[in-house]
Chain A
Amino acid sequence: MQADRISLGQFLSLRSGGKRVNTADALTYLYLTIGTILMFGPVLWLVASSFKTQAGLVKYPPPLLPYQQVQVEVEGYDEPLPLFAVTQEDGSARELAQVRRVGIEAQMVDPADPDAERIKINIRQREPVEEVKLAWENYLDPLVELENFDFFTYLKNSLLVTSIATAITLIINSMAAFALSKYRFKGRDAIFVLFISTLMIPITVILVPVFLVITSIGWKNNLWGVIIPGAATPTGIFLLRQYMLTIPDELLDAARIDGGSEWHIYWRIILPLARPALAVLAIFSVMWRWNDFLWPLIVLSQNDYFTLQVGLNAFQGELQIQWHYVLAMTVVTLLPITLVFAFLQRFITTGIATTGMK
């Protein structure tokens, strides 16, 4: 763990300290490799699966890539026929198109010679010929075709909820954390303990009372009903307070001597200094709001107000789940949040290094 304080510039010149590759490095890269496969493999697989057809999704064992059976146009047939690799009695293999199947017997035709007599074989002798083919319809149907799935409305609502909620969460949680870490007022510790312990109660277990509160203030089918109740997060207050405790009081006193108001101190000193912790909270809040499902499902019941998570879960019926749509839309919802993360993550690490703060 030696000499890890490197700026962004040094980062590019790896091992510029002149050390040679040692056991620690080898272990590091071994860990990273295994970790990458384990952490990211499943995600890639999710993306690949989203391109599989309905039939392809239920296939065992699950193929890595989205395959579809090759269909060939055969002269004399209106519809394209499925292509099979057939192992004949004599052991020779050839590719034939299937005209129809009756019981365990398949009637095949040679696509190159459609007029020849049909060949009858046992279905155990044939294997479908497959090619990699992406089922774009999984994406296009919900985005364009399906009238009951209004993707762009849901997207707008999700963006609204996530952005407003995150802005509010950052502001009010940082204000509370500031107060709880830098002021001595009566009841401060009591408020802190109350915040942390009661906010630990997941909304899942007090659903019904909160539902009643929401309906009595008229926030049913109102995005504020989704945004506000979760804005006071214990995670945020706790994280920010712990971080702000490390900001030296001398800084605040200096600003006060210069005549800065408390609000000025909060806005000009505390917020910029708490940037790394705020970035962590921002990521947390964005991710949580974007993926939130149980609570929006209770507040929202009209599709003009649905968020993406509520909308895409509507592909889950009583007796069927339309997985091909669920997966494709899941991948679509992952894109914006991935971008947000890519944008925010640099604040976390560069922020701290440059201020030299803790």
Chain B
Amino acid sequence: MRRIMAVLLILAVLLSAVPAFSQDMVELRIRWYDDGNEGEVLRDLLDRFEADNPDISVEIDTVPYRAILENLPLDLAAGEGPDMARVTDLGGLAEYYLDMTPYLSDADYWEENFGPFLNWKRLPGDDSSIPGFMTQLTITGPFINRTLFEQAGVDVPSDMSDSVTWDEWAAASVEVAEALEIPYPMAMDRSGHRFAGPAISSGAMYFDDMGHPTVMDEGFRDMAERFVNWHLDGTMHPEMWPLSEGYAGANEEFANAELVFYMSGSWQVGQFSEQIGDAFDWQTVPNPCGPGGCTGMPGGAALVGIASTEHPQEVARVMEYLAQQEVLGEFAARTLFIPAHAGLSASGVDFDTDLQLAKDSLGVFVGQVGTLEQIAFDLQAYGFNRAVFDATRDRLTQAMVGELTIDEAIDRIQDDVDTALAEQG
């Protein structure tokens, strides 16, 4: 046994020769997460930046997404944050962001092009800071497998009407699934954010008159009840929500043509291009309608500067480079992300794919931006929206398995949110 210890010690000594690091240049670190190839594309762009700016080197620390949600806030609170970070709790972490305004050569460019999305990253009451830009804008919306509709001989509801309701989609999906003996008519990502679109469409307000988040209205209850019942009667994928923690998607089922209608969002286009290609006709359809509109939810991730950085000037230079229309356009084209940039929205992005299905699908999502309700934007801009989304997700799940009734579940959602907000103060 002592031999083993000796070997381990030797190994330890040999390995501990850590390479020295040159201190000549400013090293910046980006805390990043990857859904697909975006980290690689960013690295490419940064390599070009570094070639032109030999005094700055930028290091990407790719961490699991979970570390962005759970560990980054702790690091930031402890003053151990990176120089820049890709975040999704846009408003929740706003107190830690760097206002780059004094360091930017052209702050107006940012206001002009990123204007509508800057307030997602600001604290309430702040209407001027420029903390960063969106790496991508996401729009939630449903995908359908059109080929299945054709095989079943069922008309695609959105071909005939501009305002198809959720019930009509459910009926059509069930009809297709029954005709073709397909296991899952519908599925929705396991996420309170995904649920919010349909809920708003059916009349949920999400905020009371005081601007405090609430789910205690008929609109929310209506969609919650419908949604839970769809899980019980087999209209919706019965395992996805009850048997996961956090987010879960139905990519496998959709890619295997075992799912007719899949409520997800624009980020799936890149994945479906890989996983499905043109094996069948997948297509994005407009968000279904209800008394509250025909809305999905906007969303996305942002790259922000962190206020505790020792090199705000250099951070701003990196950000300025990445935020250029040309650079951001290339980033969007290669990642198949929808850019949140006024100039690019006007000019359009020539997405880097041969697949017509993917281009069409992205086109539909871009077109959806105009149909989003104001509540959806407000909810997205609300700093503690994830507290609302997560409570919705977890409590509705309990209702699906009979641990709570729908009314109990809604009470619990409200209670969870209120308790957390009270602690937040």
Residue of B whose beta carbon sits closest to that of A59: B256
Contact A316:B64 (CB < 8 A) given known A54-B274, A278-B1: yes
Residue A51 at the chain B interface, CB threshold 8 Å: no
Q: Give every chain A residue within 8 A of B80 (Cβ-Cβ).
A: 215, 220, 301
Partner of A318, one of B60, B65, B268, B281: B65
Contact A301:B1 (CB < 8 A) given known A58-B256, A147-B40, A220-B80: no
Cross-chain contact B256 with A315 (CB below 8 angstroms): no
Q: How many whole Å from A276's CB to the nearest CB in chain B?
A: 8
Q: How many whole Å from B285's CB to the nearest CB in chain A?
A: 16
Residue of A whose beta carbon sits closest to that of B47: A147
What CA separation (Å) do A123 and B145 show in the bound complex? 14
Residue of B whose beta carbon sits closest to that of A102: B281
What CA separation (Å) do A211 and B75 show in the bound complex? 9
Residue of B whose beta carbon sits closest to that of A105: B150
Cross-chain contact A271 with B82 (CB below 8 angstroms): no
Annotate B6-32 by CB proximity to A: 1 below 8 A, 0 otherwise. Answer: 001101100110000000000001011
Binds B, one of A26-34, A37-45, A166-174, A186-194: A166-174
Cross-chain contact B34 with A211 (CB below 8 angstroms): no
Binds A, one of B244-252, B359-367, B372-380: B244-252
Cross-chain contact A163 with B15 (CB below 8 angstroms): yes
Q: Give every chain B residue within 8 A of A314 (Cβ-Cβ).
A: 33-34, 62-64
| Residues 246 to 299 of chain A near chain B (Cβ within 8 Å) | 267, 271-272, 274-275, 278-279, 282, 297-298
Cross-chain contact B15 with A58 (CB below 8 angstroms): no
Residue A333 at the chain B interface, CB threshold 8 Å: no
Contact A317:B275 (CB < 8 A) given known A58-B255, A124-B151, A347-B1: no
| Residues 64 to 98 of chain B near chain A (Cβ within 8 Å) | 64-68, 71, 74-75, 78, 80, 82, 88
Annotate B94-119 by CB proximity to A: 1 below 8 A, 0 otherwise. Answer: 00000000000000000000000000
Residue of A whose beta carbon sits closest to that of B254: A58
Cross-chain contact A170 with B5 (CB below 8 angstroms): yes
Cross-chain contact B66 with A316 (CB below 8 angstroms): yes
Cross-chain contact B75 with A301 (CB below 8 angstroms): yes
What CA separation (Å) do A166 and B8 show in the bound complex? 8
Residue of B whose beta carbon sits closest to that of A267: B2
Partner of A159, one of B15, B82, B151: B15
Residue B61 at the chain A interface, CB threshold 8 Å: yes
Number of A interface residues at 8 Å Cβ cutoff, please give it. Answer: 55
Residue B301 at the chain A interface, CB threshold 8 Å: yes
Residue B217 at the chain A interface, CB threshold 8 Å: no
Cross-chain contact B12 with A301 (CB below 8 angstroms): no
Partner of A148, one of B62, B66, B247, B281: B62
Cross-chain contact A297 with B63 (CB below 8 angstroms): yes
| Residues 96 to 123 of chain A near chain B (Cβ within 8 Å) | 100-101, 103-104, 123
Cross-chain contact B275 with A58 (CB below 8 angstroms): yes
Q: Give every chain A residue within 8 A of B2 (Cβ-Cβ).
A: 267, 271-272
What CA separation (Å) do A320 and B71 show in the bound complex? 19
Residue B267 at the chain A interface, CB threshold 8 Å: yes
Cross-chain contact A104 with B151 (CB below 8 angstroms): yes
| Residues 209 to 239 of chain A near chain B (Cβ within 8 Å) | 211-212, 215, 220
Q: Give every chain B residue within 8 A of A58 (Cβ-Cβ).
A: 251-252, 255-256, 275
What CA separation (Å) do A315 and B67 show in the bound complex? 12
Partner of B1, one of A146, A279, A302, A313: A279
Partner of B247, one of A272, A313, A318: A318
Q: Give every chain B residue within 8 A of A282 (Cβ-Cβ).
A: 1, 4
Cross-chain contact B11 with A320 (CB below 8 angstroms): no
Q: Give every chain A residue within 8 A of B189 (Cβ-Cβ).
A: 319
Q: How many whole Å from A268's CB to the nearest CB in chain B?
A: 10
Contact A55:B1 (CB < 8 A) given known A104-B151, A320-B36: no
6 contacts between A and B (CB under 8 A): A211-B78, A267-B2, A297-B63, A301-B75, A314-B33, A314-B64
Additional A-B contact list (17), CB under 8 Å, known A104-B151, A147-B43, A211-B74: A55-B255, A55-B274, A58-B252, A58-B275, A103-B150, A104-B147, A163-B15, A167-B8, A170-B8, A220-B75, A303-B61, A310-B64, A313-B66, A315-B34, A318-B33, A320-B249, A347-B1
User: A residues bordering B, Cβ < 8 Å?
Assistant: 54-55, 58-60, 100-101, 103-104, 123-124, 146-149, 156, 159-160, 163-164, 166-167, 170-171, 208, 211-212, 215, 220, 267, 271-272, 274-275, 278-279, 282, 297-298, 301-303, 310, 313-320, 322, 344, 347, 351
